[in-house]
Structures are given as structure tokens and as C-alpha cells.
């Protein structure tokens, strides 16, 4: 990858704040940085969207993704073919009260798949059951319902919860537990129920994103282009893992989401709807204070030295 120098990197950047309609992943506002390559290209924006609590080492691949977007551009057709124009997406349901489910899902328009957040700290399994029931009622029998626990359960809790939620015909369970060993264990326990296990954090936060696939600890990989360092690297990881994938966002603005769509278009077999409709979770965008903009510029400069 051709890296810009720091002056080039920061020549035209904008930090924006995206207020969330509903608190999501502990966030009320999502901050993210737009970076424009000043090399005269037409489409030359990239997004550096590493969550603000991440350290520089974890954030650096996100910057690599932004640089690929803005400076290198997407792979050529010869390098990586395009398999589709349209990418089906799923609705994403935060860990809200069941009563709030219809109003939130209506904002996603037409969709057949909903991902329901479960195992939120401070909530109970009864809350999850009520929310998943409401989501299933909304999409009907022909819809697809998947759940995402963000690694919050231990193996016994996961088994208990999955058995309690089985009646809602789950498409898959995303990251029920944290570690690869735990995922392997829970996958074995629920395999007979026909429940599939998807890995998310075990891909994007792991030193080796393919380890979970190699260990036989997941049926599906959730692939997020920014934490994996860009479209090319994500495609290499998918090739190596050899598992079905779901391309999802990391709560980027539409600029960063475009890289996710580009990745999804280049995956030959895409059997699951992709989590790329997450802009519906935002109400709009706002500019940030000078202090926050400086914080982001300094962070981007530090991360550049790590690439």
C-alpha cells in the first residue's frame, strides 16, 4: 500500500459526530473522521472510524482501510472480480424494550432479516426473549432473525439462552461467548439443534483473524472491512478462512459503508444478508469541537507511524 505522509494524510480531513437514535454499543454519539486524498481523484474520500476507546495499535488497521479507500482506490476488476451490483442488507435492532421494536424496525424500510442485540449488560434473558419475540412477530415466518451477544455469555449462559430463544427459529447466533475455546464448546453443544455460530469479535479483534475458522469454532464469519485493514486484506482473510461470511459495518458513516459494500460485491458466495444498513441508526451528522478534531488528527498521525 502506498502510504501518504502525515501532511498529505491530514491535508483535508473532517471529524463528524453522528448522534444515535437509540443508544447502541454504549454509544449515544458516534465520532468518526473523513479523510480526502488530495491527489485530484474524483472519488477520494476514506473514513477512519476506529472507536474512540481503541488504542493506536488496534486503530491502525482502520486507518489502513481509510488510506486504501482514499489513495489506492478499490481493487480493479482484474484484481478482484465483482459478483453483484446489489447487496441485500439486514435491519439491526439495538437492545431496546420489546414495545419499541416495531417503531425502530419500520425505519429500515424493506428487509427480510433482522439482527437483534441480546445479552446487554444490566438486562435479563427475559428482556432478550421479549425483544426477539417482537422481532420475529415483525418479520413474520418468512423473515430471518439472528442474534448478537457480543461475547457477553459464558458457555452455560449461552446454552441456556440459546435453548430459550430456539423457538424463534434463529438464523445464527453471533459471538455468544468471548474466546475461541468457548465458541468451540458452545458450537458443539448446540450443533444438534441446528443452530449456527458466527464469529465477529473473534475475527476483527484477534491477532490472527483466521484462527477461529481454523479451530472449527464457527460456522460463519462476520467480516468488517475497517478493522481488518481494507478491502484487499479482508478478501484475503475470507479466502483463507473458507467459511461463509456476512459483511457488516462498524457503525461507519456512508463513506466507510461504501468500502463494506465494495467488499460484499466482490465475495462470490454471499448467502446471508449484510449488516450494512446501519446508517439508519443515526439521526444526522454534526461537526465536533476543535479539541475533538485535534484529538483525531493527532491519533491519525500516530496510527500512520504504525502502518
Positions in the binding site for Mg ion (CB under 5 A): 148, 174, 200
Give the whole-angstrom CA distance, residue 271 versus residue 90: 12
Give the whole-angstrom CA distance, residue 307 versus residue 302: 10
If the CB atoms of residues 148 and 171 are measured against Mg ion, the closer one turns out to be 148
Least gap, CB of 3 to Mg ion (angstroms) = 30
> Which of 115, 117, 187, 299 is the catalytic position?
117
If the CB atoms of residues 3 and 206 are measured against Mg ion, the closer one turns out to be 206
Least gap, CB of 252 to Mg ion (angstroms) = 14
> Which of 80, 144, 204, 224 is the catalytic position?
224
Which of 232, 216, 206, 204 is CA-nearest to residue 67? 232
Which of 237, 214, 239, 240 is CA-nearest to residue 227? 237
φ/ψ (deg, to 5) at 107: -70, -15
Please say if 224 is a catalytic residue.
yes
Least gap, CB of 237 to Mg ion (angstroms) = 16
Which of 66, 43, 31, 46 is CA-nearest to residue 229? 66
Give the whole-angstrom CA distance, residue 75 versus residue 80: 6
Please say if 115 is a catalytic residue.
no
Least gap, CB of 194 to Mg ion (angstroms) = 21
If the CB atoms of residues 282 and 296 are measured against Mg ion, the closer one turns out to be 282
φ/ψ (deg, to 5) at 95: -80, 65
- CB hemisphere CA count around 119 (13 angstroms): 23
Tally Cβ neighbours within 10 Å of residue 208.
Answer: 12
Residue nearest Mg ion, CB atom distance? 200
Give the whole-angstrom CA distance, residue 13 versus residue 297: 8
* Sheet of strand 13-24, all strands in order from the earlier edge strand to the far edge: 45-48, 27-36, 13-24, 286-287
Core vs surface per residue 233-249: b (16+ CB within 10 A) or e: bbbbbbeebebbbbbbb
If the CB atoms of residues 147 and 288 are measured against Mg ion, the closer one turns out to be 147
If the CB atoms of residues 24 and 45 are measured against Mg ion, the closer one turns out to be 24
Least gap, CB of 85 to Mg ion (angstroms) = 26
If the CB atoms of residues 73 and 123 are measured against Mg ion, the closer one turns out to be 123
Give the whole-angstrom CA distance, residue 115 versus residue 196: 14
Least gap, CB of 200 to Mg ion (angstroms) = 4
Catalytic residues: 117, 224
Amino acid at each position: 500500500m502506498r502510504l501518504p505522509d502525515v501532511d498529505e494524510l491530514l491535508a483535508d480531513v473532517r471529524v463528524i459526530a453522528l448522534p444515535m437514535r437509540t443508544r447502541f454499543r454504549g454509544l449515544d454519539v458516534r465520532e468518526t473522521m473523513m479523510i480526502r486524498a488530495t491527489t485530484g481523484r474524483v472519488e477520494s474520500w476514506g473514513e477512519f472510524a476506529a472507536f474512540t476507546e481503541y488504542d493506536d495499535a488496534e486503530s491502525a488497521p482502520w486507518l489502513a482501510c481509510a488510506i486504501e479507500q482514499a489513495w489506492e482506490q478499490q481493487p480493479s476488476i482484474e484484481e478482484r472480480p465483482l459478483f453483484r451490483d446489489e447487496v441485500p442488507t439486514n435491519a439491526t435492532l439495538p437492545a431496546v424494550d420489546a414495545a419499541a421494536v416495531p417503531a425502530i424496525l419500520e425505519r429500515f424500510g424493506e428487509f427480510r432479516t433482522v439482527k437483534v442485540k441480546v445479552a446487554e449488560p444490566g438486562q435479563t434473558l427475559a428482556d432478550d426473549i421479549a425483544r426477539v419475540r417482537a422481532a420475529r412477530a415483525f418479520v413474520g415466518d418468512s423473515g430471518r432473525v439472528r442474534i448478537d451477544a457480543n461475547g457477553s455469555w459464558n458457555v452455560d449462559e449461552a446454552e441456556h439462552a440459546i435453548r430459550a430463544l430456539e423457538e424463534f427459529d434463529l438464523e445464527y447466533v453471533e459471538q455468544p461467548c468471548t474466546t475461541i475455546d468457548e465458541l468451540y464448546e458452545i458450537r458443539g453443544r448446540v450443533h444438534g439443534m441446528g443452530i449456527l455460530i458466527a464469529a465477529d469479535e473473534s475475527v476483527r479483534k484477534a491477532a490472527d483473524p483466521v484462527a477461529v475458522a481454523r479451530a472449527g469454532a464457527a460456522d460463519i464469519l462476520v467480516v468488517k472491512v475497517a478493522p481488518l485493514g481494507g478491502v484487499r486484506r479482508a478478501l484475503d482473510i475470507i479466502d483463507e478462512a473458507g467459511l461463509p461470511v456476512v459483511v457488516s459495518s462498524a457503525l461507519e458513516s456512508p463513506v466507510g459503508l461504501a468500502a463494506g459494500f465494495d467488499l460484499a460485491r466482490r465475495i462470490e458466495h454471499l448467502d446471508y444478508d449484510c449488516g450494512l444498513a446501519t446508517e439508519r441508526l443515526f439521526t444526522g451528522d454534526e461537526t465536533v469541537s476543535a479539541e475533538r478534531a485535534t484529538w483525531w488528527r493527532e491519533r491519525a498521525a500516530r496510527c500512520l507511524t504504525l502502518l
